[in-house]
Amino acid sequence: MFKLVDKLSVGLSRASLRHTVLSNNLANFNTPGFKRSDVVDNPSFSRELAKAQYSIVRRTHARHLPGLASRTDGGFSVVQDNSTTMRTDGNNVDVDRERVLLLENQLYYESLIDAVSRKLGQLRTVIGEGRR
């Protein structure tokens, strides 16, 4: 049960990071030369997540999440799209596309929250049944 919750927490971390990245893209829509970014999974991360051996999150500071020091870092990363240009000023942000991706990511995040809530609800039920 906790392996599943760990996998879901990784998905939540990824969705949170992706929300930040997509929001940054929208915020810089009118910035000349700005190139959009997105979050991608590292191939080894996908294999490890499928095995459900442990939770993988990205640490941004050595003192953050100290319990993860021995775990693999870099399950997903932010990549910049330098291959396209939407306008003559070098910017490649398509507002409509970014909004759709943001909405898609929001739905994904909410579905993961729902799954975690259901799993923890099952645990609460099991604990509560033992008190009768």
Query: What confidence tens digit (pLDDT) does each residue in 41-51 have?
Result: 876 555 544 44
Q: What residue has token string 């929250």?
A: 113
Determine the Cα–Cα distance for residues 59 and 10; give it in Å rounded to an integer. 12
- pLDDT (tens digit, 9 = 90+) per residue, 8-32? 888 899 999 999 999 999 999 999 9
- As given in the structure block, the two tokens for residue 50 are 């499928």
Token code pair at residue 128:
């509560």
pLDDT class for 67, splitting at 50, 70, 90?
very low
Phi first, then psi, for residue 55 (nearest 5°) are: -80, 140
At residue 69, φ and ψ (nearest 5 deg) are: -60, -35
Coil vs helix vs strand at 77: strand
